[in-house]
Amino acid sequence: MCLTIDNLDSFCPAIEANGIKLTAQIKDGLDGNRQAWIEDPDGNRIELMEMHADCLQYKGLKRLREEGLLPA
Question: Over the stretch 32-46, which tens digit does the pLDDT of each residue have?
Answer: 899 999 999 999 999
27-52: string of b/e by CB count within 10 Å (b at 16+)?
eeeeeebbbbbbeeeeeeeebbbbbe
Stretch 41-68: mean pLDDT:
93
Q: What pLDDT does residue 54 have?
A: 87
Higher pLDDT, 25 or 54: 25
Higher pLDDT, 29 or 37: 37
Q: How far apart, in Å, are the Cα atoms of 1 and each of 30, 33, 38? A: 18, 16, 10
Confidence of residue 58 (pLDDT cuts 50, 70, 90): confident
Confidence of residue 63 (pLDDT cuts 50, 70, 90): very high
User: In the chain, what are the domains?
Assistant: 2-66 (3.30.720.110)
